Amino acid sequence: MPSVHQDDATTLSGPVRFAQFNVAMSYDGPGELARLLAEGTPRFHRLAGIIRHVRPDVLLLCEFDHPGEGGDSGTVRTFLRDYLNNEFGEGEPIDFPHMYCPPSNTGLPIYKHSDASNVISPEEAHGFGLHHGQYGFILLSRYPILFDDIRSWQQFPWHKMPGNRMPEGFYDGSTEQTLRLSSKNHVCVPVETPKGVVSVVACHPTPPVFDGPEKRNYHRNADELRLITDIIDDADYLEDDAGSFGGIKNSNPFVVIGDLNCTPVDGDGDHTELRKLLSHPKINKTAALGKLVPTSAGARSHRVFQYRYDTSNTWTHNSGLRLDYVLPSSHLLVTSSGVFWPSSTEAGRSLIADSQDRIKANISSDHRLVWVDCDINM
């Protein structure tokens, strides 16, 4: 299990721990998360216990509802105050003084209805969602976030990606010209660690399923993965939401973090597109495909209903898939990594399993927290 950090954010020794966790804190009603947080739901306390156990320095939480236009309506502050940084619950309190809640395309209408209600279905939004901001993601950090230097590609139109895989003829002409590529957002967030600035490239591509013979979600997931590659390749066609072109420059260290909804081997996504990212020359090979790929002991004994070809100890989801990633750039030295999936004999098992030791999504989440320690000395 991961070692515990000292909670002194000013320390200059030791690696920086980057982590990603799909907490499944998204609900059909826009105020539902706030209500449940106020009630003190046990599942949320277990989610917080996992975070307190691993003690990341920089943490991306996926599927955490917040306002679709960005910012915090109070749900993030409540989770920080009442679940992560208090004297109750499992593990020592942990404080994240810095946070970024980016705008999201989920639930954002592609076009307005002519009637006054403007009620839409999730399929009529830029990203699937019953309300604007559903399934959003947030970034928490012990270190300062350089807000003035954040870049985002939320508004980038899908059709403007050269060689895009938008299904031909599936959307009407207006939608083809308007539909955004990122189902939530693709952001590049500089974080000022004690040893230097590292950019967090965060995203949560759409699942490559729930579509028809046109396979629109399959192709969109693949192009969202490719967008990550193009950002770290500094592709000249990219135009961010502020009108600047290109992506990350060669000299800038970064960490790609997200629930990418794709695996290198199993599942329904385009494995080739993901493997291009994992094997990219700018990605640290040891954490992506080598000896320091995040693993767990608990997943080895987990049974799934469908045969999987990938190594079980790399799984990050109850269905036996590696969906969640922390991918440092080749600038960074990876010192250790892991997936919070304790075995039945390890500490923290009660945070993911019921009293009969059964792994269930409603105990905490159907996903597992993934972490990677990076030495920022460059």
Tens of pLDDT, residues 71-88: 999 999 999 999 999 988
**Strands of the sheet with 187-193, listed across from one edge:** 151-152, 187-193, 196-203, 254-259, 324-328
Flag whether 3 is in a domain: no
Q: What is the CATH number of the domain that holds 257?
A: 3.60.10.10
Full domain range(s) for residue 356 = 16-375
In this prediction the pTM is: 0.94
Flag whether 242 is in a domain: yes
Flag whether 1 is in a domain: no
Flag whether 264 is in a domain: yes
pLDDT computed for residue 120 by the predictor: 66
Does 350 score more than 50 pLDDT? Answer: yes
Amino acid at 297: A
Flag whether 2 is in a domain: no
Closest CA to 126 of 101, 148, 154: 154
Q: Give how many domains the chain has, as a whole number.
A: 1
Flag whether 321 is in a domain: yes
C-alpha–C-alpha distance, residues 158 and 173, integer Å: 13
Tens of pLDDT, residues 145-165: 999 999 999 999 999 999 999
Flag whether 8 is in a domain: no
Tens of pLDDT, residues 251-296: 899 999 999 999 999 999 999 999 999 999 999 999 999 999 999 9
Tens of pLDDT, residues 352-378: 999 999 999 999 999 999 999 999 875
- Which region holds residue 268: left if phi is over 0, alpha if psi is between -120 and 50, else beta? alpha
pLDDT computed for residue 35 by the predictor: 97
